[in-house]
Amino acid sequence: MLSSLLLEIELFTVFTLRLADKVGVTRQTIVSLEKGTYSPSLELAFRIARAFDLFLEKVFF
């Protein structure tokens, strides 16, 4: 069970690092966005939507 949890944590960390690198922010920024403690600028919101190849409305609304 612990190894499964550690694997999930590792995958989450790798994902957040890759997304952060792709959109030009830190991993902490991505984590804060996911927690809802940070609201992205419009420019960052568009970069994140573009990273997922989605419209802005599909990502944030």
Tens of pLDDT, residue by residue over 11-47, are: 989 999 999 999 999 999 999 999 999 999 999 999 9
Reading the block at residue 4, the tokens are 């499964």
Report the alpha-carbon distance of residue 10 to residue 61 in Å, rounded: 28
Domain count along the chain:
1
The enclosing domain of 49 has a CATH number of 1.10.260.40
Full domain range(s) for residue 9? 2-60
6 has pLDDT over 90: no
Reading the block at residue 1, the tokens are 């069970």
Given a contact cutoff of 8 angstroms between Cβ atoms, the answer to whether 33 and 40 are in contact is: yes
pLDDT band at 56 (very low <50, low <70, confident <90, very high): very high
Output the pLDDT for position 21. Answer: 97
Output the pLDDT for position 16. Answer: 94
Q: Tell me the mean pLDDT in the region 52-56.
A: 93
Element (H, E) at 17: helix 2-23
pLDDT band at 1 (very low <50, low <70, confident <90, very high): low
